[in-house]
Structure 1
Amino acid sequence: MSAELEGYEQDYAVLTAEITGRIGKVPRLVGDEKKLMILNVEKQLDEARELLEQMDLEVREIPVQSRSMYSNRMRSYKQEMSKLDTDFKRSRIAYSDEVRNELLGDDGNSSESQRAHLLDNTERLERSSRRLQAGYQVAVETEQIGQGILENLSQDREKIQRARERLRETDTNLGKSSRVLTGMLRRIIQNRVLVVILGIFIVFTIIMAIYFSIRRH
């Protein structure tokens, strides 16, 4: 694992711990103090998302054959981030008993339906967010698979090119061998022709010698 990725993971762990603590304080605050806390949490959530993006880029640089473990860890980090977003949304509309009494007095029934409606809307937003997150994860995994396929194709292309080079070298060597063998065969044929001619000449000479010898007698 690269030092950069390890550093990002450590920063992410510290940051998410701080965010969790501050989200728990939001419902107990009112007025400007609550607004300030919300702004701080929003800023930290943005920082956490940036860290996730940096970690995601680092993981993509890891070789495909050893990337699975880090991809699973990234999936866990993203799920944790989604949960933090959900908790933060709920904390912004949740009130402690003391704050709710100050806002509503003794009769809080009139706001229960409104609060339920807000919670329902929050749930819908969460479902949409989860679908978007799932779509993003599918896109990332598809990209990783595509990169793996491209790497394999690149390796296969190199193997094919090397095989072609060896085939061309073999063809060249075969051509040279064929020319050598053809030359040797031609010389053998020529030598055999000479031997036959020489044999015929010797036989003819012997016959003529016998013929002239007979005539003299």
Structure 2
Amino acid sequence: MSEAFEGCERQYCELSANLSRKCTSASAADGELKEQRISEIKVGIDEAESLIRKMDLEARSLQPNVKAVLLAKLREYKSDLNNLKSEVKRLSLGHLAARDDLLESGMADTLTASADQRARLMTSTGRLNHSGERIKESRRTMLETEELGVSILQDLHQQRQSLLHANNTLHGVDDNVGKSKRILTAMSRRMSRNKWIIGSIIAVLVIAVGLILYFKLK
């Protein structure tokens, strides 16, 4: 017999026994626990189907006398797997029916609660919309205030530049006035010296003319 077939066969037998135990456990469970067990069984069934496909491919690749024996075993395993699927289907339908009963029993309360909740939500939505409009208005005012503040800062900066320019101009005027004052003082001193020199020259000329006239008359 094929070793590959025997390996898959052992895995399937162990998996089938495990799934049977889980089906028994799931039938006694309720609510979320039952739903979890059913999900685990479905995953195991998918794995079992994969093992049967592998065994089928392996059996069909062997000699006719061996293949016939293995295919007969496969039919038993497929029947066992179908029984597991039927059990899972029954558990799932029972779980869904129980859930539907619970939903129907609580439908009226749910509808009433939903209506009240909807009314509260509408009220809350209206308040939120009103608050949103107030927030938008506050934001718009804040942006306008920010723009005004920026404009004022720009004006102050321009005025500061103008004052600095005027201050520099005044310093330049003071420097020019100081230079002019020094020049005028120097010119005044030179004129005073020049007056003394001119007076001396005039006195010398008067004396010289007097001497010339004296000698001529003599």
What is the TM-score normalised by the length of structure 2? 0.42
What is the TM-score normalised by the length of structure 1? 0.43
By relative contact order (CA 8 Å, sep 6+), the higher-ranking structure is 1
**Larger Rg computed on CA atoms:** 2
